[in-house]
Amino acid sequence: MRRYLFIFFLFFGITDAQNDFSLEDVNPASDTYGQYVGPSYFNDNICVIGFFHEY
């Protein structure tokens, strides 16, 4: 039973994570600095998105 629950939550976690979003680019060295960009902004390109925290 635990295995089925794991697969269920894994599947819905992956499908729910595919939503489009838009965040402000706060990297001053970026070409899109100050603009709101998201996955749909980079159509036809490979896009790796990470959320990092600087300590």
Query: pTM for this one?
Result: 0.47
Whole-number Å distance between alpha carbons of 9 and 24: 30
Whole-number Å distance between alpha carbons of 33 and 28: 6
Cα radius of gyration (the chain): 16
Q: Which residues on neighbouring strands pair with residue 24, listed in sequence order?
A: 36
3-state helix, strand, coil in the chain (%, to 5): 35, 5, 60
Name residue, tokens 């159509």: 43
Q: Give tens-digit pLDDT for 1-54.
A: 777 777 776 666 655 556 677 889 999 998 999 999 887 887 777 667 677 777
